[in-house]
Amino acid sequence: MHPSIRLYSRIEPVNAVLVAAWPGMGNVAFGAASYLRENLKAVKFADIEPEDVFYQTGVQIREGLLDIPGLPQSEFYFYRDPEGRNDIIIFIGESQPVMEKEYELARRVVEVAVLLKVNELITFAATPVNITHRSEPGVWGVATDGELLSALPSLGVKVMDAGHIGGLNGLLLGVGKESGIHGICLLGEIPFYTAKIENPKSSLAILKVFMKYKHISLGLDGLTQMAHFVEEEVEKVSKTTKQTFFGNEEAGDSKQDYESGKEETETVTDEVRKRIERLFEAAAEDISKAGELKRELDRWSLFVEYEDRFLDLFGRKNL
């Protein structure tokens, strides 16, 4: 085994599949894999030392002070299926390396898969299509062999006849095939104009297919709520952009609402903030309460101030 692969605990998976993801368009793949890991409470058992596959490319600035950031992490997690059908190994990379190092990193992930006798590789990705942010995204799929490919239509997955999967989400399957492990890639649809915006709705569509494919149960309330809130925010930006470029009768009202919001923000009382804290506590216990919390934050134009805490409610700090 390559010396850069560090094993922290010994596992013996049964009928294992390996799910792998890195950040990409809409953060669809990374978001789906991260939610899967968190929801299954998968336990870290290995990682890959970053020094051989990543370089320092810059510094971070915090309050005027320069700092050298840590290198991206590449970690393996394990979930034991209580039904004994499919144990799941989840590999999540915080970043994709430079192009000349991609194949090397893919080989190390596959090396772990071979060591653990993984039956199948599954990667997630995004594909931009001509839909809107209000549409329900579909899922496309490709496979490394005909048997796996034939299973996709019954899952509601559309087969991608031609095209290209950029980065490690596609390359890993090719490297796996070279080592005798076949696999599939599930690609969630995203609107062309939101490629750089987080898209939990597409991550949700992928996870629903994955659940059906591997006969597992996931609690999707957190991701569903997040998809709803992101759609709301994109809708607001869309309306503002239309008003800026084209104008309409509602533009004056929108400006008035904004100015009203500013005035309310300036007069936020301690009692308002105490109510917000109570709503945060309630949402932490029951995610369905997040809607009420979001409305209260919007009412006082405080969402930006509390945004990080709000996202943390969903266990999606990287979303």
- Which of the 8 DSSP states describes residue 84? S
Higher pLDDT, 230 or 313: 230
The residue behind tokens 């915080």 is 94
Residue 248 — left, alpha, or beta (φ > 0 → left; ψ -120 to 50 → alpha)? beta
pLDDT in tens, 85-137: 889 999 999 998 888 899 999 999 999 999 999 999 999 999 988 888 888 89
Does the pLDDT at position 286 exceed 80?
A: no
* Dist. CA 218–CA 234, nearest whole Å: 26
The arithmetic mean of pLDDT across residues 182-210, rounded, is 91
What pLDDT score was predicted for residue 288? 64
Please check the confidence at residue 256 and state whether its pLDDT lies above 50. no
Task: For residue 9, give the 3-state DSSP assignment.
Answer: coil
Going 122 to 124 to 128 to 131, the CA torsion angle's sign is positive
Structure tokens at 169: 């989400």
Q: Which residue has the tokens 């607001």?
A: 236
In this prediction, residue 248 carries a pLDDT of 55
Q: What pLDDT digit, counting tens, does each position of 47-85 carry?
A: 999 988 888 777 888 888 888 888 889 999 999 998 888
Percent of the chain scoring above 90 in pLDDT: 43
CA dihedral 305→239→319→128, nearest 10 degrees, is -160
More confident residue, 310 or 121: 121
Cα–Cα distance measured from residue 202 to residue 191, given in angstroms and rounded to the nearest whole number: 10
Percent of the chain, pLDDT > 70?
88
Q: Is 290 exposed, middle or buried (0-12, 13-18, 19+ CB in 10 A)?
A: buried
Contact 106, 164 (CB under 8 A): no
Distance CA 261, CA 257 (A): 6
**Would the pTM count as exceeding 0.85?**
no
Task: Give residue 181's pLDDT band: very low, low, confident or very high (50, 70, 90).
Answer: very high
| Rounded-to-integer distance, Cα 285 and Cα 287, Å | 7
**Domain architecture of the chain: domains with CATH:** 5-219 (3.40.50.10900), 223-312 (no CATH)
CA 276 from centre of chain = 27
| pLDDT band with cut points at 50, 70 and 90 for residue 279 | confident
- Cα distance between residue 190 and residue 25, in whole Å: 9
